[in-house]
Chains A and B, each alone.
Chain A
Amino acid sequence: MKYAARRLLHSLFLLAGVSLLSFLFADLAPGDFFSEMRLDPGVTSATVDALRARHGLDRPLPVRYAAWLGSMARGEFGYSLAYNTAVGPLLRQRIPGTLLLTGCATLLAWLMAIPLGIWNAARRGTWSDSITKASLSIFLSIPDILLAVILLALAVETGWLPAGGMHAPGSESLAAEDRFRDTLRHLVIPVAVLVLGMLPVLVRHVRASVAECLDSPFALAARAHGIPRRRLLFRHILPAALNPLITLFGFSLGTLLSASLLVEVLVGWPGLGPLFLEAIMARDFALVLGVVMSSTTLLIAGNLIADLLLYRADPRIQTS
């Protein structure tokens, strides 16, 4: 419990640090939402100054940071100048999309990586191991962009799967079950791209971790006792090999969130990615900060979960 509290506090410090750093960086950067207006001869610089003053952009940094913290406490996360509304509701619309996508991809990637990694580790040096390794490194070197573009083109050509988005037009009127199936069909391509990008890395780590355990004395002893191979792999080796993988789980979440940004933009998935890109193009600082903070929170939450899982799985942490 004390451990959990300490990790939580650490996470909060990280979040505060990230927000402070973003603010500092944005302050150093040239230009803001209104700087494009200055180029327009029809807009006097007095107007721009007045607009900046009205939105509080001319106040000193600590005051703006304090104001932002205050609006965060109210759940507004600042005011988006491009959308002319509070950032909070915009984020709350988009976070479930990203969460759904990365959640499904994480689950599927790990469900595939663990058996595949164990299988390869148990057959080290055989042709099936080499073939898996070779094909996975080829997948690793295909850029996500290419994969997504090709899958989308195939989807349109064959008509088997919807080509982008999250819902079919008019899906609001469908029954709950059909809506679920519709979303599931829309999930196939983005999740496939994410899983294919992530799987090679995961399989490699699972294989390495399991292989190391297979070489350890306890595995030899268990084999000598005549424990069946499958039981040995799943009941004895896997739990022992799990610790480095739990740490990897946190990392994999970060990678997937990054990849998800790109995939969301490519397939038009209503997640944080497209919102982020729009905010950048519009130079909407509050929205950029909001998206950065939400993605950071997602990642830190994932890492926190990994930390706590590791605490449960590895008694060595509890004593130190």
Chain B
Amino acid sequence: MKLSLTLAFLAVLHALVVLAAWVAPYHYAEQHRDYPFAPPARVHFTDAAHRFLLRPFVYGLTQDSPGGDYREDRSRLYPIDFFVRGRLFGVGAPGVLFLWGSDGYGRDVFSRVLYGGQVSLLTGLVAAFLSLSLGLLCGTLAGFHGGWVDGLLMRGGELFLALPWLYLLLGVRAFLPLHISPAQAFFLLVAIIGTVGWVRPARMVRGVVLSARERGFVLAARGFGASPGYLMRRHILPLTWSVLLTQATVLIPRYILAEVTLSFLGLGVGEPVPSWGNMLAEARQYHTLMAHAWMLAPGLATIPLLLGYLTLADILLERPSSADPAPPIERPSGALPLGSREG
């Protein structure tokens, strides 16, 4: 019950972000230079005579002076249209609809948060996939082969763990070109974040593989003459799925935060492509923040997403996993060891 609720919640969030081109009323780069830092729009459901309208509307915006406060111009009324111009909703041409306000260039913050989510979310997902693939590869190799391969991989992994994570991330980023296009920056980010995080999943996979080697059915299959490849495919790898799944729910929110942090510091995806990190960087100035608090929206948008993933991780961690060692089976003496054993 709790699991399906969390999954549904996450699915809705992902759908909103994936369908940004349709859900968002504007393109992320569309500028309305007449409306810099417009406050979040007030959507009205009742007209001047307090009659309830089935179709909500917004009033036009006027400024007393350039840079001054915005007022609603009650003489201009723009009903919100649904399913128009290839988007979910929007208002007719002279009117503007900034649900979460606009930024300094008059770009719609709501649209940019949705589009920015694509970058942040995709970084998290792809980088987590990369980390887990590397972790699975190195972990099974170390656990199954043992010996010097195990030693080399695990000692090498310790080097990665010896650095504080963010220092490692930035240190790797430091030696790569600074001025690159948003697309290159995206792939670079994914590659760095994904590669740097391989050690923990690898260690967990190694643990599962090591304990799996000793389990009764694996020993039995081995006894019947199964080849290492068959053992791996048929018996050992399926046991790692639950660990990988749990690790994914832990890694994805962490990697989303990593993208936000790097882009915030100016080392990730840059303008004009929005990401939650580089949007937050604009809100960093005190004056922007105090006068235009809605610029914090990208930061707030991360909260439900992270909460969803963390809850999912909790649920998965509390669930009894199939990778837990089965009731101990006495290992027959003289059984052939699998691969070379640890010293």
Contacts and interface: CB of A to CB of B under 8 A. Distances in A.
A280 B286 contact: no
Interface stretch (B76-84, B110-118, B169-177): B169-177
A256 to B, nearest CB: 8
B170 A277 contact: yes
Contacts of B236: none
B162 interface: yes
A163 interface: yes
A87 interface: no
A136 to B, nearest CB: 10
B191 to A, nearest CB: 13
Contact of B286 (A15, A17, A152): A152
Max chain A C-beta neighbours (<10 A), residue from B161, B163, B286, B296: B163
B280 A261 contact: no
Interface residues of A, number: 50
A149 interface: yes
Max chain A C-beta neighbours (<10 A), residue from B161, B164, B267, B280: B164
A279 B155 CA distance: 29
Nearest to A266: B284
Contacts of A298: 164
Contact of B296 (A15, A25, A150, A283): A150
B238 to A, nearest CB: 28
Contact of B311 (A22, A137, A150): A137
A258 B165 contact: yes
Contact of A141 (B163, B173, B253): B253
A280 B267 contact: yes
Interface string B264-304: 11110000000000001001101001100000100110111
A124 to B, nearest CB: 13
Interface residues of B, dominant DSSP: helix
A171 B175 CA distance: 38
Nearest to A272: B167
Interface string A187-222: 000000000000000000000000000000000000
Contacts of A146: 280, 296, 299-300, 302-303
A296 B170 contact: no
B306 interface: yes
A153 B286 contact: yes
Interface stretch (A26-34, A41-49, A67-75, A230-238): A26-34
Contacts of A157: 290
Contacts of B310: 137, 140-141
A156 interface: yes
Contact of B178 (A261, A283, A292): A283
Nearest to B299: A146
Interface in A259-298: 259, 261-262, 265-266, 276-277, 279-281, 283, 285, 288, 291-292, 295-296, 298
A292 B289 contact: no
Given A137-B307, A280-B173, A261 B167 contact: yes
B257 interface: yes
Contacts of A112: none
Contacts of A261: 164, 166-167, 170
Contact of A163 (B176, B257, B286, B314): B286
Contact of B260 (A22, A31, A145, A279): A145
Contacts of A18: 159, 162-163
A279 B158 contact: no
Interface string A1-40: 0000000000000110110011001100111000000000
A109 interface: no
Contacts of B284: 149, 266
A22 B167 CA distance: 12
B246 interface: no
Contacts of B171: 22, 288, 292
A315 interface: no
B261 interface: yes
A283 B171 CA distance: 11
A132 interface: no
B262 to A, nearest CB: 10
Interface in A138-171: 138, 140-143, 145-146, 149-150, 152-153, 156-157, 163
Given A137-B311, A296-B162, A145 B261 contact: yes
Contacts of A31: 175, 177
Given A149-B299, A262-B265, A285-B175, 4 more contacts: A22-B171, A140-B310, A143-B257, A149-B284
Interface of B: 155, 158-159, 161-168, 170-178, 253, 257, 260-261, 264-267, 280, 283-284, 286, 289-290, 296, 299-300, 302-304, 306-307, 310-311, 314
| Leading 7 A-B pairs by shortest Cβ distance | A29-B175, A141-B306, A258-B166, A146-B299, A257-B164, A280-B174, A141-B307
Interface of A: 14-15, 17-18, 21-22, 25-26, 29-31, 137-138, 140-143, 145-146, 149-150, 152-153, 156-157, 163, 254-255, 257-259, 261-262, 265-266, 276-277, 279-281, 283, 285, 288, 291-292, 295-296, 298-300
